[in-house]
């Protein structure tokens, strides 16, 4: 497998507080990777760096073996075309004043991607299990699970290689959560996506990700195949996360 994304010796300091400390992560093509840890572990900082919204204080980010340079506008436009994100709360990530079709088409406009935008909107709505006429409605007319499907459709519109999901099901009830997890699995398989799942919930990661990275206080304390991390954890912190789950089906 080819590495699409790498963090090499990445540290990030805010007002003399180290949010990340010498983090090394490799994201392989067509692989699903889970990044887990409690609040304050550094997940959000890694997320912002992976999305190009923040820069390391030390170390570097590589995209297809090239350093990610925010001053290189051509590179960053291509990067934002290829790497898209779905966030935790679709209510706040979807503009309530815009119709769904315009919301989904927004990255196509901002990234200047050619083609029939209306056709692409219909395609991605279908791919996430929504009817084409959803494009004419507003986010407030949908349930929480449906709004998250709209957010996924928006992320898929530019045909990314990498989909980064930040706690994408944590705000949903159990039945809707299961449906969304099935959708992520289906999209990963049918579209050949490289998936990065950022979550505090190791049980969620275990259902979807082949590789798991465990963060604690800004450091990677354990990383490897998910089955190995779950069944033979080496670190006490990982065992603590596993013990906090009442039932874990893997």
Q: Is the dihedral of CA 148, 150, 154, 159 positive or negative?
A: positive
Average pLDDT over residues 77-97: 90
- Can you give the pTM of this predicted structure? 0.92
Alpha-carbon gap, residue 100 to 150, rounded angstroms: 7
pLDDT at residue 246 greater than cutoff 80: no
**Residue 72's domain is classified under what CATH number?**
3.40.50.300
Residue predicted with more confidence, 197 or 247: 197
Number of domains observed in the structure of the chain: 1
Average pLDDT over residues 10-39: 93
**How would residue 250 be classed by pLDDT, with cut points 50, 70 and 90?**
very low
Task: For tokens 């769904």, name the residue.
Answer: 100
Residue predicted with more confidence, 248 or 59: 59
pLDDT at residue 79 greater than cutoff 50: yes
Q: Is 65 left (phi over 0), alpha (psi -120 to 50) or beta?
A: left
- Report yes or no on 85 lying in a domain: yes
- Report yes or no on 133 lying in a domain: yes
Average pLDDT over residues 229-249: 80
What is the per-residue pLDDT for 248?
43
- Report yes or no on 216 lying in a domain: yes
pLDDT at residue 247 greater than cutoff 70: no
| Dihedral pair phi/psi, residue 167, rounded to 5° | 45, 50
- Report yes or no on 101 lying in a domain: yes
Alpha-carbon gap, residue 158 to 17, rounded angstroms: 36
Q: Using CA atoms of 62, 169, 179, 209 in order, give the dihedral in degrees to the nearest 10.
A: 40
Cβ neighbors of 247 (< 8 A, separation 6 or more) are none
pLDDT at residue 1 greater than cutoff 60: no
- Report yes or no on 249 lying in a domain: no
- Report yes or no on 250 lying in a domain: no
CB 23 within 8 A of CB 42: yes
Residue 210, judged by CB atoms within 10 A of its CB (0-12, 13-18, 19+), counts as middle
- Report yes or no on 248 lying in a domain: no
- Report yes or no on 204 lying in a domain: yes
Query: Three-state DSSP class for 100?
Result: helix
Range of the domain at 114: 3-243
Question: 166-180: per-residue pLDDT in tens?
Answer: 988 876 788 888 899
Question: 205-222: per-residue pLDDT in tens?
Answer: 888 999 999 999 999 999
């Amino acid at each position: 497998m080819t590495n699409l994304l790498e963090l090499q010796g990445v540290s990030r300091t805010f007002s003399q507080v180290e949010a990340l400390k010498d983090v090394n992560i490799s994201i392989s093509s067509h692989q699903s990777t889970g990044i887990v840890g409690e609040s304050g572990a550094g997940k959000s900082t890694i997320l912002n760096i992976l999305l190009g919204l923040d820069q390391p204080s030390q170390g570097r980010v590589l995209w297809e073996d090239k350093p990610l340079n925010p001053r290189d506008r051509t590179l960053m436009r291509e990067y934002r075309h290829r790497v898209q994100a779905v966030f935790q709360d679709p209510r706040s990530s979807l503009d309530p004043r815009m119709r769904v079709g315009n919301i989904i088409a927004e990255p196509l406009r901002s990234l200047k991607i050619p083609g029939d935008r209306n056709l692409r909107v219909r395609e991605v709505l279908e791919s996430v299990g929504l009817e084409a006429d959803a494009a004419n409605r507003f986010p407030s007319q949908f349930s929480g699970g449906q709004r998250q499907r709209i957010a996924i459709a928006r992320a898929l519109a530019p045909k990314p290689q990498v989909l980064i999901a930040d706690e994408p099901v944590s705000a949903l009830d159990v039945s809707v959560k299961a449906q969304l997890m099935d959708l992520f699995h289906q999209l990963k398989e049918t579209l050949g996506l490289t998936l990065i799942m950022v979550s505090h919930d190791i049980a969620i990661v275990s259902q979807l990700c082949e590789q798991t990275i465990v963060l604690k206080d800004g450091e990677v304390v354990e990383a490897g195949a998910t089955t190995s991390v779950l069944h033979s954890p080496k670190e006490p912190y990982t065992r603590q996360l596993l013990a906090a789950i009442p039932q874990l089906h893997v």
